[in-house]
């Protein structure tokens, strides 16, 4: 199972992105990472690491793993949490990065007051490009699940198997990655709830 943690900062991401993508896409991604960094501020991942690392991991998954080159999908991957976790608005994303990016970010944002299971189940209706964003996001979240408390590991594993893996079926690289991941983590199914 491949792990995507090579880009903890923009400095590490920029070179590989420059080899894989057109300069205009790399420049827009630089802007998106800076924008997301300002929006998320001092927010940290549950592991205590800077939040921007998660955004760059998801971007690395999309580019290096899945071979995604669609500029708007990649920008949405970087911005996928700004509506849910910061004060940023969809209108602000649309103004800065265009309506397509804003729509993709909206698709992967859990609406306030919605149960997480209902939100995840609704992703079956999402456009394929939004699904790519969610799949990359979740790879970043589950690739090092061992860093989290065991109860979180079990809940997140079961949630990923139930809601995310079915979405991966239409995307061969993601389908393979999640199948390997599930095999690696299958022991979690036997843990007591």
The per-residue pLDDT for range 149-170, each reduced to its tens digit, is 888 888 999 999 999 999 999 9
Q: Determine, yes or no, domain membership for 85.
A: yes
Give the pair of three-digit tokens for residue 49: 């690491």
- Helices in 41-79 by DSSP H: which ranges? 52-60, 71-79
In this prediction, residue 36 carries a pLDDT of 98
pTM score: 0.95
Q: Is 103 within a domain? A: yes
Percent of the chain with pLDDT over 90: 85
**How many domains does the chain divide into?**
1
Examine residue 140 and state whether it is found in any structural domain, yes or no: yes
Would 122 be classed as within a structural domain?
yes
Tell me, yes or no, whether 33 lies in a domain: yes
- Find the CATH number of the domain harbouring 64: 1.10.3210.10
Task: Judge whether 61 and 136 are in contact, CB under 8 Å.
Answer: yes
Give me the pLDDT at residue 88, please.
97
Domain, as residue range, for 140: 10-190
> What amino acid positions are annotated as catalytic residues?
84-85
Q: Looking at the domain assignment, is residue 5 inside a domain?
A: no
pLDDT score of 193 = 60
pLDDT value of position 120:
96
Tell me if 4 is assigned to some domain: no
Confidence grade of residue 115 (pLDDT, cut at 50, 70, 90): very high
Closest by CA to 20, choosing from 70, 80, 76, 57, is 70
Angle at 170 between CA 168 and CA 173, to 5 degrees: 60
89: helix, coil or strand?
coil
DSSP state of 50: B
% of the chain exceeding 70 in pLDDT = 99
Q: Is residue 1 part of a domain?
A: no
């Amino acid at each position: 199972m491949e792990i995507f943690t090579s880009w903890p900062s923009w400095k590490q991401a920029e070179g590989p992105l420059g080899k894989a993508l057109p300069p205009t896409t790399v420049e827009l991604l630089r802007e998106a990472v800076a924008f997301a960094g300002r929006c998320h501020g001092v927010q940290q991942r549950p592991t205590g690491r800077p939040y921007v690392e998660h955004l760059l991991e998801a971007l690395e998954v999309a580019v290096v793993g899945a071979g995604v080159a669609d500029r708007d999908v990649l920008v949405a991957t970087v911005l996928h949490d700004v509506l849910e976790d910061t004060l940023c608005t969809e209108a602000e994303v649309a103004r800065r990065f265009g309506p397509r990016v804003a729509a993709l970010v909206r698709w992967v944002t859990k609406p306030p007051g919605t149960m997480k299971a209902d939100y995840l189940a609704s992703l079956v209706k999402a456009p394929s490009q939004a699904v790519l964003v969610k799949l990359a996001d979740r790879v970043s979240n589950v690739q090092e699940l061992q860093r989290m408390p065991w109860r979180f590991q079990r809940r997140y594993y079961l949630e990923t198997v139930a809601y995310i893996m079915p979405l991966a079926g239409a995307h061969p690289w993601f389908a393979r990655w999640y199948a390997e991941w599930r095999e690696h983590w299958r022991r979690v199914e036997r843990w007591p709830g």
